[in-house]
Chains A and B, each alone.
Chain A
Amino acid sequence: MSLVDPVIELGRGLWRTLSSMFERTVTYQYPEHKRTVRPRFRGRHVLKRYDNGLEKCIGCSLCAAACPSDAIFVEASENTDEHRFSPGERYASTYEINMLRCIFCGYCEDACPTEAIVLGDNYEMSYYTRKDAIYTKDMLIEPVSSVNQTTPQKTPTGVFTRSVPEMKDAKD
């Protein structure tokens, strides 16, 4: 019966499409159901804090130096024990990322000596104006869990002298 093979092949094609009608759809109904992102997903940046609420960022600008698209702007100021934002001498008084320039390469994450800047899970960044694309420190910093952890903090003298903490090798 190989002579009527074309008809059989056409029929097989039709059967394939018909049977696929009864498969489960692969669609995610996006705004209602969101996929969980992969562990190493590079989304919007987050500025991390230590457990006591102090900011990890020390305003060293290494992230800005590492940034290939020059999206990060950092301005540092001096910490005092009366008015402490982060351990060590300095903190980032201004921290801005232009999300229109950012290419989410994650080099800032790699460059950071204190693991302060991390690319998070949020990919829902949209804005109507260019100005809205510049994310400031308030928007990027991790929210605090309780009121007495907000920065600036009043800290005992001589405790937070070291800018860069001792840490294990980074994973993931």
Chain B
Amino acid sequence: MDWVIWLIWIVKGFFLAMFLLVGFAYLTWYERRALARIQVRVGPNRAGPFGLLQPIADAVKLIFKEELTPAKAYKIVFFLAPIITMVPSIIIAAVIPWGPQEPQVKLFGYTISLYVADINVGVLYLMSIASIAVYGIVLAGWSSNSKYAMLGGLRSTAQMISYEITLGLAFVTVILLAGSMRMLDIVEAQRSWWFVVIQPVGAAVFLIAVLAEVNRAPFDMPEAEQELTAGYHAEYSGMKFALFFMAEYQKMIVVSAIAATVFFGGYLGPFVHRWPLLGPIYMLIKIIILLFGMIWVRATWPRVRYDRLMAFGWKVMLPLALAIVFITGFGILLAQELGDPIYLTVIPAASIVAGVIAVIMVNRALTRKRILSYEPR
């Protein structure tokens, strides 16, 4: 009996890894098609129907590309860095629940739970693994022994550390609302209302911080082509470059899954508690929508200047996140003390006020700078 449990784990892990690997390939296709549509183009449509074989063609091309190692690179670290970046982006997905626990899924007489690992500190696991990925990037930048790669790696570190605090505080609001760090409990706590309704500003802060965390536009500073000639992976080619690329896109999928889990109700949807296998489908739909959001933002907004990125992270996002953590705690306490969940409505109302104040402050700061620079006094 024991070995069957192991087998189930291995098979589930394999499926999850395959989902991320294939998902990465098709995410590149999805992004290219969506970007093309936004730019009134068609996008890749030559390889196979709707260009669906394009990722395979890209993979074959990348595998057969020459791999260069700079002569003065620190070879071992240079070799390890893509792996260190890649592995966390896969294993981070382990704690994400894909379906409810309650009506159990039976397959060949065995109960299959729709997650790989059920850790009671799931959120902590997410945070810790997410911050490991930055090592790969900064080591890649350093071991390349190249100025641009170094700058890209350092920028990435600074950015990820700055936004990680905000991300953590956004997680704290979720933990407060759910009363648990276990991902399944967080999802089940959203059965009446998704947390995006109770804490909309928290969700917005989370999504912005996540964009910075996975180095996506408009915060794709570490790989700014125009300034840094691709940043930390400037010296990489062939499959090693593909690993960085893979890690970035897998992280996109994974953070979309996390955002869906903690704010958008995870696997919850109509009838999911009658047919639990609907869970993965709802989850997938939510992930695809959130991924479209990322692509959409990339197609729309220009890259943020680096000093503004840091200023925004430390002077706006962090105080705002602290404020919403306070508001969330206050609202929960109010509801508990007065014994009526209606007082939870304090949370969205007060956090929207906090968000508007933050926007006004940003606007005033930017306007003041404009006046100072254009109008001599």
Contact = CB atoms under 8 A, between A and B. Distances in A.
A25 B39 CA distance: 8
B56 interface: no
Interface-centre pick from A13, A17, A21, A23 (highest chain B CB count, 10 A): A17
B359 A3 contact: yes
A125 interface: no
B311 interface: no
A17 B296 contact: yes
26 contacts: A3-B359, A3-B364, A4-B356, A4-B363, A6-B362, A6-B363, A6-B366, A7-B359, A10-B301, A13-B300, A13-B301, A16-B300, A18-B38, A18-B296, A20-B38, A20-B39, A20-B40, A21-B37, A23-B40, A24-B40, A25-B37, A25-B40, A25-B42, A26-B40, A27-B41, A27-B42
Interface of A: 3-7, 10, 13-14, 16-18, 20-21, 23-27, 29
A3 B360 CA distance: 5
Contacts of B297: 14
6 tightest Cβ-Cβ pairs between the two chains A and B: A3-B360, A27-B42, A17-B300, A21-B37, A13-B300, A17-B38
Contacts of B356: 4
Mostly, the B contact residues are helix
Nearest to B299: A17
Interface in B265-291: none
A11 to B, nearest CB: 10
Interface size on B, as a range, is: 20 to 34
Interface-centre pick from B34, B38, B301 (highest chain A CB count, 10 A): B38
Contacts of B359: 3-4, 6-7
Contacts of B41: 25-27
Interface of B: 34, 36-42, 296-297, 299-301, 356, 359-360, 362-364, 366
Contacts of A10: 301
A16 B359 CA distance: 22
Contacts of B366: 6
A172 to B, nearest CB: 33
Given A4-B359, A6-B359, A7-B359, 4 more contacts: A17-B299, A18-B296, A20-B38, A21-B38
A21 B39 CA distance: 7
B315 to A, nearest CB: 15
A2 to B, nearest CB: 8
B36 to A, nearest CB: 8
Nearest to B302: A13
B297 to A, nearest CB: 8
Contacts of A23: 40
Contacts of A24: 40
Contacts of B37: 21, 25
A23 B299 CA distance: 16
A16 B300 CA distance: 8
B211 to A, nearest CB: 13
A26 B36 CA distance: 11
A18 to B, nearest CB: 7
Contacts of A26: 40-41
Contacts of B40: 20, 23-26
A4 B360 contact: yes
Contacts of B34: 21
Interface-centre pick from B36, B297, B300 (highest chain A CB count, 10 A): B300
B150 to A, nearest CB: 33
Contacts of B301: 10, 13
Given A4-B356, A23-B40, A25-B42, A14 B363 contact: no
Interface-centre pick from A3, A6, A10, A23 (highest chain B CB count, 10 A): A3
Contacts of A25: 36-37, 40-42
A116 B360 CA distance: 73
Nearest to A6: B363
Contacts of B36: 25
A4 to B, nearest CB: 5
B168 to A, nearest CB: 25
Contacts of B360: 3-4
B101 to A, nearest CB: 37
